[in-house]
Amino acid sequence: MKSYLKSPLSLLVAAGMILSGTVRTWATEAPREVVITAKRFEFSPKQITLKKGETVTLKLTSEDVTHGFFVRPLKIDTEIVPGKTTEVTITPQATGKFTTICDHFCGVGHGNMMMTIVVEE
């Protein structure tokens, strides 16, 4: 083992492995970002489409009051506070149409504030 590491060739190979590893990291793409805006009593857009297994970052903002963003099958339960961006990164593992609701009471139309997240193959 020692003699192997002392070999100039092996050092070169090792350096190459490290370098290739670094290059791989650089080559990893940042998750796709999807922007969703909430305001009483709707989300915009009303529907987004994701791919199964694809990592996506949802960037959530509110134009007025605090809203909720809840979709049990995708294990998302967060708040959208006005003045800041809430980021949620997910990698959906199942296909389907998932109803997403505001679960932070925001007024008379709260009960119908929802959108759909579609996950396709």
Partner 1 sequence: MKPSFNRRSFMKVAGASIGVGALYRIVPTWGAGKEGQEMGRLLGKANGESVSPFSFVQLSDTHVGFNGPPDPLGTKAFELAVEKVNQLPEKPELVLFTGDLTHDSENPEEHANRMRLFQKISSRLNVAKIKHVPGEHDAGLDGGKLYREFFGDTSYSFDHRGIHFIALDNVSRAKPEVGEEQRIWLKKDVARFSKTSPIVVFTHRPLFDLKPEWEWFTSDGDEVMNVLAPFENVTVLYGHIHRQNTQRLGNAAHYAARSLIFAFPDPESGSEKKPIPYDKDQPFKNLGIRQITGKQDQVPSSVSLSINDVELSVREFAGTAGIQQFSKKGVSL
Minimum gap (Å) between residue 110 Cβ and partner 1: 7
d(CA 106, CA 121): 34
Minimum gap (Å) between residue 84 Cβ and partner 1: 17
Task: Considering the complex, state which of residue 55 and residue 70 has its C-beta at the smaller distance from partner 1.
Answer: 70
Minimum gap (Å) between residue 46 Cβ and partner 1: 13
d(CA 52, CA 26): 24
d(CA 32, CA 64): 26
Task: Considering the complex, state which of residue 55 and residue 66 has its C-beta at the smaller distance from partner 1.
Answer: 66
Binding site for partner 1 (CB under 8 A): 66, 68, 70-72, 77, 98-99, 101, 103-108, 110-112, 114
CA atoms within 13 A on the CB side of 100: 29
d(CA 15, CA 19): 6
Task: Considering the complex, state which of residue 40 and residue 51 has its C-beta at the smaller distance from partner 1.
Answer: 40
